[in-house]
Amino acid sequence: MLYRVIRRTLSATLSTHRQTAYNNQDTPFDFTEANYKEVDSILAKYPPQYKRSAMINLLYLAQKQCNGWVPLAAMNKISKILEVSEMDVYEVASFFTMFNREPVGKYHLQVCGTTPCMVRGAREIIKTIENECHILKNQTSKDGLFTLTEVECLGACVNAPMIQVNGEEVYEDLTPETMKNLLDMWKAGKEPNVGPQNGRKNSEGPMGRTCLKCEPQAAQFRDFAKVKEDYANKKAEEAKKAEAKKAEEAKKAQEKK
């Protein structure tokens, strides 16, 4: 039996903290001014006694501020903002795999490896990245540019195989060549186009758009206020008629007498 080394995923890393020079209790962290405004708007969404509901939001904000990872000091800061114990923040940050507790490269390449992508060649994409950047899964390249992780389905199955970068941009319809192309562009400092890399438009099939080719008719615009008014008028008329009829009948009855 081949002895398989089970590599932990980068985001889960270790379930305990490792003291390093770049990440310990004393490493300074504070949200920027702009981010503090964001923090306030996030906290405003929750009742004041349930500040801890904002924890995942604030952790993600800290991760974005620190270019893709959450330092320990950020977690401590968040615990002070939310008035919870530090351990509560550590528990949440270590549970969710989207929070990286170790630094990642400038481009955190998350390659989807589940069934639709795998069938369409995700393994080759991973191999390409491994060869081009000289890293294995869960490692960061020496120049600090690329980190490779394999993640679960990212919901772009029609455009498989695909990668997500830094949790934001998605590059789809990859082939090993287009993948290499993307990597080269990043290494050169250029920004490639987001989306399908084979010229496809969104998720269109190979025949292009086959239905819904014409524009829909202009939307009906019903003036409900007018309809209501008409209805009210109609009602009033009918009421008048009924009254008039009653008056007539009463007259007739009197005449008979």
Partner 1 sequence: MPNSSLNNNPINMLHQLKRYFRASSRLLNTIEVFIDGNSIQVPPTFTIMQACHKAGVNVPHFCFHDRMAISGNCRMCLVEVERIMKPIASCAYPVSPGMRVKTQSEMVYNARGGVMEFLLANHPLDCPICDQGGECDLQDQSVVYGYKQGRFLEYKRAVEDKDYGPLVTTIMTRCIHCTRCIKFSEEIAGMPVLGTTGRGRETEVGTYIGRLMTSELSGNLVDLCPVGALTNGPYAFTARPWELRIINSFDVLDPMTPAIVVNTRGPEVMRVLPRIHDEINEEWIHDRSRHAFDGLKQQRINACLVKTQDGFKEIDWEQAINMAAEKLNQVSGDEVVGVIGEHMDLEAIVAFRDFMYRLGCENIEARRHGIQVSADFRANYLMNSKITGVDESDLVLVVGTNLRTQHPVLNARIRRCVTQNDLKVAVIGPSESLGYDYKHIGNSAKTLKEILDGTHPFAKKLEKAKLPMLILDSSLLKREDGEAIMALVQELGNKYKLVNPEANWNGISILNSSVGNIGALELGITSKHIPGFKPKIVYLLGADNFRPEEIPEDAFVIYQGTHGDEGAYRANLILPGAAYTEKSGTYVNIDGRVVMGRLATSPPGQGRSDWEILRALSEVMGHTLPYDDLQEIRYRIAELAPHLVKYDYVEPYNQTEWITKAKKGDVVESVFADQVDNFYMIDAISRASPVMAKCSAAFNHLKNSNFVPEFPNR
- When the beta carbons of 5 and 219 are compared against partner 1, the nearer one is 5
The answer to whether 214 is annotated as binding is: no
Sites for partner 1 among residues 59-118 (CB under 8 A): 72, 85, 87-88, 90-91, 94-95, 97
The answer to whether 117 is annotated as binding is: yes
* x-or-dash string of contact with partner 1, 18-47, rule CB under 8 A: -x-----x----------------------
The answer to whether 66 is annotated as binding is: no
- When the beta carbons of 72 and 156 are compared against partner 1, the nearer one is 72
Contacts of 10 (CB under 8 A, 6+ apart): 100, 102, 104, 138, 139, 147, 149
Is residue 52 involved in binding partner 1 (CB under 8 A)? no
Residue keyed to tokens 């010229």: 199
78: helix, coil or strand? helix
Is residue 149 involved in binding partner 1 (CB under 8 A)? no
CB atoms under 10 Å from CB of 217, counted, come to 6
| CB 117 within 8 Å of CB 161 | yes
The answer to whether 112 is annotated as binding is: yes
For 113: left if phi > 0, alpha if psi spans -120 to 50, otherwise beta; the answer is alpha
CB atoms under 10 Å from CB of 20, counted, come to 11
Task: Compute the least distance from the CB of residue 208 to partner 1, in Å.
Answer: 44
169: helix, coil or strand? strand
Which of 46, 27, 42, 81 is closest to 89 using CA atoms? 81
Task: Compute the least distance from the CB of residue 78 to partner 1, in Å.
Answer: 14
Residue from 7, 15, 245, 251 touching partner 1 (CB under 8 A): that is 15
Residues for the chain: how many in total?
A: 257
Which residues belong to the annotated binding site? 112, 117, 153, 157
Q: List residues binding partner 1 (CB under 8 A).
A: 8, 12, 14-17, 19, 25, 72, 85, 87-88, 90-91, 94-95, 97
Which residues belong to the annotated binding site for [2Fe-2S] cluster? 112, 117, 153, 157
